[in-house]
Amino acid sequence: MSHIIKTAEDLKKIYGERSPRADQKVLKKLDKHCRAFIAKCPFLAMATSSPQLGADCSPKGDAPGFVKVLSDTQLAIPDRPGNNRIDSLLNLIDNPQIGLLFMIPGVKETLRINGVVQISVDPELLRDLAVDGKEPRCAFVVTVHEAYIHCAKSIMRSEIWNPDKVVDRKALPSMGRILADHVAGGLDADEYDATMEERYHKSLY
């Protein structure tokens, strides 16, 4: 394939130099604006990677405030119950570098944080991250290397917060149908769908 970009020089020929402001806005710690964004954020995407398992991006979500700011340079993210794949955790054992994208419904800007992680099982921290007395098994303690607000263009193009753009869930196959097609072993799609919401609610925390 002759039209593949392979070098930084080739990229710069296409994109040119970036605005000085793009570098100037990057912070080395969490200021009042970052803290306010995190406090109102119910959802983030967590990017990790390792030489063995490759790149991965995982959704993390809970009530606003679920991410705790510990200091100007550290924050803690609870690891709520999931499917026990623990992909992000395994990646971080190999490579502690992490990228986070914070999103707030209705807000067009996003917050990006890059740093390194320690996986903590500190009892006091886990108690502080508990919901209804149920503690996470561990927490991602992120040391911030970069923090900056990302512009609104991608959200504007996607119209993700536009209520008129909400997709009817029935436009796609149900979760049971998808799993029945993806998983070997004769999963009953209708039975899975009938009990799915109850199972979800019982295992949220």
Domains of the chain (ranges, CATH numbers): 22-158 (2.30.110.10), 167-202 (no CATH)
Give the residue from 75, 45, 74 showing the smallest Cα distance to 61.
45
* pTM of the complete model: 0.94
CA dist 53 and 89 (Å) reads: 11
The secondary structure element, H or E, covering residue 139 is strand 139-150
Pairing status of strand 68-69 against strand 54-61: unpaired
For residue 6, the tally of other CB atoms under 10 A from its CB is: 7
- The per-residue pLDDT string of the chain (205 residues; one tens digit each, 9 = 90 and over) reads 678 999 999 999 999 888 898 889 999 999 999 999 999 999 999 999 999 889 999 999 999 999 999 999 999 999 999 999 999 999 999 999 999 999 999 999 999 999 999 999 999 999 999 999 999 999 999 999 999 999 999 999 999 999 999 999 999 999 999 999 999 877 999 999 999 999 999 999 9
* Cβ-contact 53, 91 below 8 angstroms: yes
